[in-house]
Amino acid sequence: MEVPQHITIIMDGNGRWAKKQGLRRIFGHRAGRESVRACTEYCTEIGVRYLSLFAFSEENWDRPADEVNGLMDLMARSMLEERETLRRNNVRFRVVGDRGRLSENLLRGIESLEAETAVNTGLTMIIMLSYSGKWDIMQAARRYAEASVAAGKVLPLDEASFASYLATAGIPDPDLMIRTSGEQRISNFMLWQCAYTEFYFTPVLWPDFRKNELRQAIEVFNGRERRYGKVE
Ligand code: IPE
Ligand code: IPE
Ligand code: MG
C-alpha cells in the first residue's frame, strides 16, 4: 500500500451527528475529538508524515457566539489534555491560520504545545484554525508586497517563492483530501495547495469516522492514477 505523505481532512458533520442523537451541536464537536485521536494514531501507525485537520474556518466565526465559544474552549482544553499522548507518539503539533483572531489564552496554549513538540520527529499534526484558502492567498500576496517594498524593488516571483509566503510554507501539498458528511465542496479550504490533490468524499459524519474509514479512503487513493496533466 502506498501511504500518502500528507492527508488533509475537512472534518464535517458534527452538528448533524448531534442532532441525530437529540443533542446540542457542541456534543457533536466533543464526539469528533475521538475521531481526531483515532486518525492521528492510525497515521502514526502507518507512517503518514503530515495530517492536517480543518477545525475552524474564517467563515465559521459567523456562527452563533455560544457555538464559537464552545469550540474555542474545546480546542484549548484538548490541547492541554492531549499533551501527553502527543509526546508519547512523537507527534509534532502545529496550528495554521489567522492567529490574530484567537484569544490570548488559546494562543498561549498553542504556542507552548508547538514549542514543546517541535523536536518530535514522527507525524506532524496540523490544526487548521481560523483558516481559509482566500485569506491565505491574500496574506501571502500582502507579505510578498511588503518584502518587495522593504527591498526597494519588485522581488522575483515564481510558484515556489509564492508558496513560501503561504501560511502552509514548508508543508508539502496534500496528496489526499477527505471530506466527511456527504458535502462535496471545498468550502474555501486550501485553494492553492489542493491544485493536484486527490479528493475523497464520504457520507460518514465526522464523529463516526474512525480507523476503518480512514483505511478505506487510503485504499481508494491507492487506486487513483495521478497524471498532473501529463499523458501516462
Ligand atoms: C464541522 O461540523 C465542524 C466545524 C465546522 C467547526 P459542523 O459543525 O459543520 O457540522 P454540520 O455540518 O452542521 O453537521
Ligand atoms: C467546513 O465546514 C469547515 C470545517 C470543517 C472546519 P462547514 O460546515 O463550515 O462548511 P459549509 O458551510 O458546509 O460549506
Ligand atoms: Mg458543516
Task: Evaluate whether residue 156 is within a structural domain.
Answer: no
Q: Which residues of 8-41 are buried (b: 16+ CB within 10 A; e: fewer)?
A: bbbbbbbbebbeeeeeebbbbbbbbbebbebbbb
What's the pLDDT tens digit per position in 187-214? 999 999 999 999 999 999 999 999 999 9
Give the number of the atom of ligand 1 that is nearest the alpha carbon of residue 56: 6
Helix residue ranges per DSSP H, 22-158: 25-46, 65-81, 83-88, 104-117, 133-151
Task: Evaluate whether residue 154 is within a structural domain.
Answer: no
Task: Evaluate whether residue 166 is within a structural domain.
Answer: no
Give the CATH number of the domain where residue 109 resides: 3.40.1180.10
What's the pLDDT tens digit per position in 72-120? 999 999 999 999 999 999 999 999 999 999 999 999 999 999 999 999 9
In contact, 136 and 189? CB cutoff 8 Å = no
Neighbour order of strands in the sheet with 50-57: 92-96, 124-131, 50-57, 6-10, 176-179, 198-201
Is residue 131 within 6 Å of ligand 1 at its C-beta?
Answer: no
Cell numbers for 87, please give them. Answer: 509526546
| C-alpha 201 to ligand 2 mean position (Å) | 14
What's the pLDDT tens digit per position in 132-163? 999 999 999 999 999 999 999 999 999 999 99
| C-alpha 56 to ligand 1 mean position (Å) | 9
The domain in which residue 48 lies consists of 6-132+173-222
Phi, psi of 26 (to 5 degrees): -60, -30
What's the pLDDT tens digit per position in 25-67? 999 999 999 999 999 999 999 999 999 999 999 999 999 999 9
* Residues recognised as catalytic: 12, 60
Task: Evaluate whether residue 18 is within a structural domain.
Answer: yes
